[in-house]
Chain A
């Protein structure tokens, strides 16, 4: 039943060929991936620095992780420090964030936030190997204890790695001999015991250093740094657990800094306290690979700044949702409130996840409808009434957030991401339809809107769909072609097969 005019079909074909062609060229010739790759774990680590400023100029230096050190690849970092000037610099193996402000009084809170992904191999061979330490001048009775201990350990080992392991085994033994008991005095695992180990290792002229690790847990709030031991075996630094003697770094740990320098120094204020928190998220590996694949950055949106990318991630999914709305309205015949309202609700579902999204949507609209009923008695004019409904919707959202926070339902906090103007309009329109056409129509359209939103979420949230439109935005031309063709669809809607169901029977009757 399509119209005869061929121009729409020709245009659609052109768009289709262009879109598919460009995407094909990019995937075949430029090697851009057609399928989304697996997700990588991305940690967001935050250091919260707090101190009391005295009123004059204040300066604060915070050691921050250097990428070369070990175990991570930096994806991005933020320094949140309102009116402070900021500079970062490399000092030895460490990086420093240097904050300074002309005048500061009272409690100051600065944040350093790092997004990173763990990286297994440590390639810090480009660093100059450290000089062999001189043998310390051990005072007695330590001197003889060190000599005896090193002698025993040397006999049990073949190279620096096995030497260190043997030393650590003896040092951490449950029943240590007298020499070790004398040397280790302090509690095992403390920074002091690591320093003792470095001191002892210097006796064998083995370069060793203390590094500070941040063990990370998802949702960690008040983490702290732990000392760790590293020895240089001529090529690279080897890491050891100072307590158990196990080689390597623990899983999910970030080397924050190296050496015995201070973590944080302040001037013009009280000594600062540092608290660490960490959270685990996921991100496309493609995104992580963007630095390595020049084509990806050049011919897809991966070349844009990350926050612009994030905006486009959402924007590019919208035409897919819009196409779905066209399909559901013109081919299926679903009734909704507002044409694209369900798409916006679907976008909010991205953050809230489906189950919470539906629950929150129904809660807000139901409470909104009840309150709107009451507003009806006040006989308000249209625009003020809309404003009142909008205010009520926001209050409902705040209420839900507070309540769910009390109950520990953190997912419900994402209610704040709902498009409240759209929700207010939905409440208003639903109550109008209710009044004019009855509850049946109101629920029918409300349910229709929710259904389209859910389907929209399911489609727009497909990893494959998201990946394809992001890496191959020209595929939107194909979406456009489909939309144009559907724009000329004049056949029956699915719902009309139900609506006109009595047409056939009626004819026979009459």
Chain B
């Protein structure tokens, strides 16, 4: 069953061609792409601006340095290896703890140090980078996500993706890993995406494999109605990221660390479109509203407030079930 183009346009759904032609190309100057495509550069920029990011343990730049991986990991119980130029979650290995004979990955598999070294050298040779260019491998802190998402996650770290247009957050979703997504928070790989009402920071029900779901496929818990703690601050954080890299159409990925609070995981110059499904709302109308604004405030706080005001129409809110409300109060 297909949907008619007219209906899609009515709903304000932005398609791939429109995203590329009308938003990414005019809003995101090519020369700024390296700032977000290189996660190391993004991390440095964020740190300089005082934005919290996962702690960097080390960078492996050359094949020779691969041998130093063991030394770099000394005393680290858990960590993440990721390519500096990876996209769509490719090439990311999450290690949760050490085991005799190796490391345990977040998906439960035990890997040897040699396998990790091979993975790092694959990253260096550009296997996971855009266009296959030689790359660097980052070793960084594993995020221990805040317990708020515990019952909605299977074997991975959920993250919050916001689309920020001209510095104003326009849409957000939380991406919940599933068994099928192998712990990855990537909708394309089978994670659940749940929209977030921008004004309240409460989740709406989700999409999984392009279908509507009300419950997490692995944990069976209801998705809608979860209030994300510190939502105001998260919105400000997302708005600030625009200043960081200067891209006017930006995807911001944030994780909630149990101890350190929200950390910016990565920025994306070509954020995907599934967020519209997760929110059951097209981006176009919201983007148009921002476009129509005479002026956009300089302060990130004001921009976040603007977003919460502009996109707070009641229709977007999903009624929170009493059960969820109760559960949330207890766990918060």
Interface residue ranges, A against B (CB under 8 Å): 1, 3, 330, 333, 379, 381-383, 432, 436-438, 488-493, 496-507, 509-510
Contacts and interface: CB of A to CB of B under 8 A. Distances in A.
Contacts of A500: 3, 8, 11, 13, 276-277
A497 B2 contact: yes
A490 B11 contact: no
Given A505-B212, A509-B205, 8 more contacts: A3-B21, A330-B17, A383-B125, A432-B127, A493-B16, A497-B3, A500-B13, A509-B280
A355 B281 CA distance: 45
B22 A504 contact: no
B15 A503 contact: no
10 contacts: A381-B121, A489-B21, A492-B8, A500-B8, A501-B3, A502-B212, A504-B11, A505-B212, A506-B212, A507-B11
Interface string B105-136: 00000000011001001100111100010000
A379 B128 CA distance: 15
B205 A492 contact: no
B244 interface: no
A503 B282 contact: yes
Nearest to B211: A502
A333 B15 CA distance: 11
A488 B22 CA distance: 9
Interface in B188-236: 188-189, 204-205, 207, 210-212
A139 B88 CA distance: 101
B16 A333 contact: yes
A501 to B, nearest CB: 5
B277 A502 contact: yes
A204 to B, nearest CB: 84
A448 to B, nearest CB: 15
Contacts of A379: 114-115, 118
B71 to A, nearest CB: 21
Given A3-B22, A382-B122, A507-B11, A492 B5 contact: yes
Contacts of B114: 379
A497 B126 CA distance: 34
Nearest to A489: B17
Contacts of B21: 3, 488-490
B212 A436 contact: no
B280 A507 contact: yes
Contact of A506 (B122, B126, B277): B277
A3 B2 CA distance: 26
Contacts of A3: 21-22
A498 B8 CA distance: 11
Contact of A509 (B8, B13, B15, B212): B212
Interface size grouping (class) on chain B? 35 or more
B72 interface: no
B331 interface: no
A503 B13 contact: yes
Contacts of B205: 509-510
Nearest to A506: B280
A330 B90 CA distance: 24
A379 B111 CA distance: 13
A382 to B, nearest CB: 3
- Between A432, A492, A500, A504, the greatest number of chain B beta carbons within 10 A of the residue's beta carbon is seen for A500
Interface in B274-293: 276-277, 280-282
Contacts of A333: 16
B125 A382 contact: yes
A497 B127 contact: no
A506 B212 CA distance: 7
B18 interface: yes
Contacts of B48: none
A491 B5 contact: yes
B323 interface: no
A1 B121 contact: no
Contact of A436 (B22, B90, B207, B282): B90
B214 to A, nearest CB: 9
Nearest to A378: B118
B305 interface: no
Interface in B1-43: 1-5, 7-8, 11, 13, 15-18, 20-22
B68 to A, nearest CB: 17
A3 B20 CA distance: 12
Contacts of A488: 21
Given A500-B3, A503-B3, A381 B17 contact: no
A510 B318 contact: yes
Given A379-B114, A382-B126, A510-B204, A503 B280 contact: yes
A505 B21 CA distance: 27
Contacts of A497: 2-5, 8
Contacts of A499: 210
A488 B211 CA distance: 31
A438 B189 contact: yes
Contact of B15 (A382, A383, A492): A492
A503 B8 contact: yes
A186 to B, nearest CB: 76
Nearest to B117: A379
A383 B212 CA distance: 42
A490 B18 contact: yes
A510 B320 CA distance: 12
B280 A510 contact: yes
A422 to B, nearest CB: 15
Contacts of A490: 15, 17-18, 20-22
Question: 3 smallest A-B Cβ distances: which pairs?
Answer: A382-B125, A506-B280, A490-B21
A499 B15 CA distance: 10
A237 to B, nearest CB: 69
B184 to A, nearest CB: 9
B187 to A, nearest CB: 11
A497 B7 CA distance: 10
Contacts of A496: 8, 13, 15-16
B34 to A, nearest CB: 22
A73 B115 CA distance: 68
A446 B125 CA distance: 24
Contacts of B188: 437
B1 A501 contact: yes
A297 B286 CA distance: 60
A383 B127 CA distance: 10
Interface in B286-332: 318
A488 B121 CA distance: 40
Nearest to B126: A382
Contacts of A502: 207, 210-212, 277
A507 B207 CA distance: 12
A507 B211 CA distance: 13
A496 B17 CA distance: 10
A496 B16 CA distance: 8
B156 to A, nearest CB: 15
Interface string B148-165: 000000000000000000
- Between A1, A491, A493, A506, the greatest number of chain B beta carbons within 10 A of the residue's beta carbon is seen for A506
B8 to A, nearest CB: 6
B122 A381 contact: yes
Contacts of B277: 500, 502-503, 506
